[in-house]
Amino acid sequence: MSDDAHRPFRPRAARLVSLVLGGAVLVLMVAIAALLPWGSSGGGSILDRLGIVGFGVLVAWFLYRQASVVAVPGPDGLLVRNLLLTRRVEWTEIVSVRFGQGRPGVALDLADGDTIAVMGIQRADADRAVAESRRLANLVALHSTTLRDD
């Protein structure tokens, strides 16, 4: 397989939407905090403004994490960075790659019975997601091939 087959898996649609929404939410929250009237009747204390901006930062951070999900193949395994957790799995640990109908993304079945979602490949990317799931399945097959099939 070529080096191109080992490029990272990243969603396109979710990444674009998350980055645009994150920026918009942050700008909107800063604008609301800046335009909030001062005074006790308007509720425009400095703590109110900081709370609004803080909420915007929190939402933008969450959307940034969504935009930064990735699965990075390497010679020894796959590094899967999802929304909150990052995990590295060896190629030999991966039993199968599943991307059936009704699944929002790819799931890896592991030898220990565990399942890992790979948010770097998402159904929202349509035909590209199907091609990327096949590429991942081919990488798993390539890296888990042994001289003997026991």
Question: Which of 75-86 are b and which e, b meaning 16 or more Cβ less than 10 Å from the residue's Cβ?
Answer: eebbbbbbeeee
pLDDT tens, residue by residue, 135-147: 999 999 988 765 5
pLDDT in tens, 85-130: 999 999 999 999 998 777 888 999 999 999 999 999 998 888 999 9
Q: What is the pLDDT of residue 4?
A: 79
Task: Please give the CATH topology (third level) of the domain spanning 69-143.
Answer: PH-domain like (2.30.29)
Those residues with Cβ within 8 angstroms of residue 24's Cβ, 6 or more apart along the chain or in another chain:
none
* Residue 150: strand, helix, or coil: coil
Alpha helices (runs of H) in 36-143, residue ranges in sequence order: 46-67, 127-143
Model confidence over 15-64: pLDDT tens digits?
Answer: 999 999 999 999 999 999 998 887 666 567 888 899 999 999 999 999 99
